């Protein structure tokens, strides 16, 4: 298979490259040129350098892309931030740009290619507590809202592009460093989560499940749906109960088989799907 993955120089993207570069023809889209060149030295891959928070760079990238990819993996992401980027003469939260708008642009562009068989997007349990994204999203809600929006886009794309399979995955709480810039290193909760978090290579079970899935319905693959349900309930009471999800995810992971969970957040209904699509279209057009 010919695969394009965004963000493959660290975290679970790097694990994907390590485990699958011999089985597939992989092109990595990344921002860091030093890491990209180092990656090419170890693995037989192609690399395109694109800052996914920069709209112009994304559009320029499309002129360099091959047209016959089989699979797109929207993997690149960033944690909540106060930083903004310029987007068509307006300010937009950088997290929202990388986590939602960039996948929207890549998916819409590549779905015009009739050879594209699958789109796999890395989502998060936090989509359960997310809401409709807005241009004014704050550091407190931009991450969960971006994941809510991405899940809604998958619902839309499944109807819009029936010839392509759409799969969302939740790899669990993985220690990739994505949250480090916002971490409180004096907080005991931070240290406990470091102990109980999954490692990037543990994400391979959900990636393999997504690559092998041949059903017709859009699905949501979670590292373990039991721990996911626990976190959903815990979030109703305290965000800090995410620690329990980390522990349960690690405990149940050793089956090494990703579980299918077709239940998304109840808020991802048709009217909200349309609102997310309109939000993205209005930003771009």
Q: What is the mean pLDDT of residues 76-99?
A: 82
Question: 219 by DSSP, 3-state: which?
Answer: strand
Determine how many CB atoms are found less than 10 A away from the CB of residue 261.
17
What are the DSSP calls for 19-53, one per residue? HHTTTSEEEEEES-HHHHHHHHHHSS-EEEE--TT
pLDDT confidence of 197, banded at 50, 70, 90? low
Is residue 5's pLDDT more than 90? yes
> What whole-number percentage of the chain has pLDDT above 90?
36
Question: What's the confidence (pLDDT) of residue 134?
Answer: 82
pLDDT confidence of 79, banded at 50, 70, 90? confident
The CB-side HSE value for 182 (13 A sphere, CA atoms) comes to: 12
The model scores a pTM over 0.85: no
* CATH architecture of residue range(s) 2-172+200-224+262-284: 3-Layer(aba) Sandwich (3.40)
For residue range 146-176, list pLDDT tens digits in order: 998 999 999 899 899 999 999 888 877 676 6
List all residues 6 or more positions away from 271 whose beta carbon is below 8 Å from its beta carbon. none
């Amino acid at each position: 298979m010919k695969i394009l993955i965004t963000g493959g120089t660290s975290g679970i993207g790097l694990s994907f490259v390590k485990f699958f570069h011999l089985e597939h023809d992989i092109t990595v889209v990344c921002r860091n040129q030093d890491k990209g060149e180092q990656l090419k030295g170890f693995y037989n891959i192609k690399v395109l350098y694109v800052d996914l928070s920069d709209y112009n760079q994304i559009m320029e990238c499309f002129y360099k892309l091959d047209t016959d990819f089989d699979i797109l993996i929207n993997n690149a992401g960033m944690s909540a931030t106060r930083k903004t980027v310029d987007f068509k003469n307006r300010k937009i939260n950088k997290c929202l740009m990388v986590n939602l708008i960039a996948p929207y642009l890549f998916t819409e562009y590549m779905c015009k290619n009739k050879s594209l068989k699958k789109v796999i997007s890395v989502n998060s349990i936090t989509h359960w507590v997310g809401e409709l994204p807005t241009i004014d999203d704050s550091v407190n809600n931009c991450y969960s809202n971006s994941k809510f929006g991405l899940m809604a886009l998958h619902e839309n794309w499944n109807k819009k592009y029936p010839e392509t399979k759409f799969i969302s995955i939740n790899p669990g709480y993985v220690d990739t460093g994505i949250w480090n810039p916002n971490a409180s290193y004096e907080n005991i909760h931070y240290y406990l989560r470091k102990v109980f978090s999954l490692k990037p290579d543990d994400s391979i079970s959900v990636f393999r499940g997504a690559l092998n899935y041949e059903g017709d319905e859009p699905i949501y693959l979670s590292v373990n749906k039991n721990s996911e349900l626990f976190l959903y309930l815990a979030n109703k009471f305290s965000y800090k109960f995410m620690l329990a999800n980390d522990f349960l995810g690690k405990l149940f992971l050793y089956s090494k088989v990703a579980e299918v969970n077709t239940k998304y957040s109840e808020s991802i209904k048709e009217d909200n799907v349309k609102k997310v699509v309109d939000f993205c279209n209005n930003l771009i057009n």
